[in-house]
Amino acid sequence: MTALMERAETVKPSASRRVLVFGFTVLLLGAAAVALLYRTVPKGDAGDGPVDALVVLGTPAGLHGEINPMQVWRVDEAVREFRAGRAPRILFAGGAAANRYVESDVMAGLAEQRGIPAGAILRERRSHTTLENIFNSAAIVRAHGWGSVEVISSRQHLPRASVLLAKTGLRWRVHAAPTPGWPRSQVVTSWVEEAFGTAVLRTFGRRAEPVLHALAVAQHELAWGLRTAEYKAEAWMGR
């Protein structure tokens, strides 16, 4: 009996190690597949010359409608590209996706403050997802008889946008807006989230995008809920 117990004790750690090795291998292969899908997205065909329009992808405004840093970075990059003659107009995309403030209106307002003529600004005000950002903007571009775009967003977001742009029938390229004020932790989190989202989108197609957006909105709402609680606590303590 004692010998059997000793034998069982020697087998258990070995079996546990095999399970751990198997689990780690599966995790490693999954991460490699996600990275491969993220890093091998389609490349645009608009070349490096001028295009018909710059398209700035939306991102939510702040709790009280204030422009957030990500919107500032994207708008400022679009302004630089406009002034460099990359396109004669800017189309801002994004509706009231995460709160009651229309993303394209907030960004367009900042662009006008930066000196972009109102006549050179267009707005796509209905979209709530990256998919809708892309396809609603493409419809506006085609309705004007234009055929090429440069899409501006954060570097992490552009691979997912590229998967969708490849299906619009437009000539396109992507352009990364710098994110100089982002903490390193947020940068890493964004890379992970976008890599996963891009892999899911490439695997399951366009039907996956609303689910990805719903998850992002839930994350934003949690963050805003915590921020609102913080504001209320500060106001109460300041009385």
More confident call, 161 vs 226: 161
DSSP 42: P
SS3 of 153-214: EECCCHHHHHHHHCCCCCEEEEEEECCCCCCHHHHHHHHHHHHHHHHHHHHHCHHHHHHHHH
How confident is the prediction for the chain on average, in pLDDT? 83
Is 80 exceeded by the pLDDT of residue 28? Answer: no
Q: Give the lowest-confidence range in 97-101, 115-119, 210-214.
A: 210-214
- % of the chain beyond a pLDDT of 90: 52
113-132: per-residue pLDDT in tens?
A: 999 999 999 999 999 989 89
Q: What is the average per-residue pLDDT within 42-70?
A: 92
Average pLDDT over residues 206-233: 59
Average pLDDT over residues 197-219: 70
Tell me the residue ranges of DSSP E strands in 63-133. 90-93, 121-124
Residue-level pLDDT at 40: 74
Domain boundaries, the chain: 53-231
**Cβ neighbours for 135, distance < 8 A, ≥ 6 positions apart:** 164, 168
**Six token digits for residue 205:** 């197609």
What is the arithmetic mean of pLDDT over 27-34? 62
Q: pTM value?
A: 0.77
- The CATH topology of domain 53-231 is Rossmann fold (3.40.50)
DSSP 227: H
Cβ proximity of 41 and 162 under 8 Å: yes
Between 187 and 40, name the one with better pLDDT.
Answer: 187
pLDDT of residue 184: 86
Bridge partners of residue 90, in order along the sequence: 54, 121
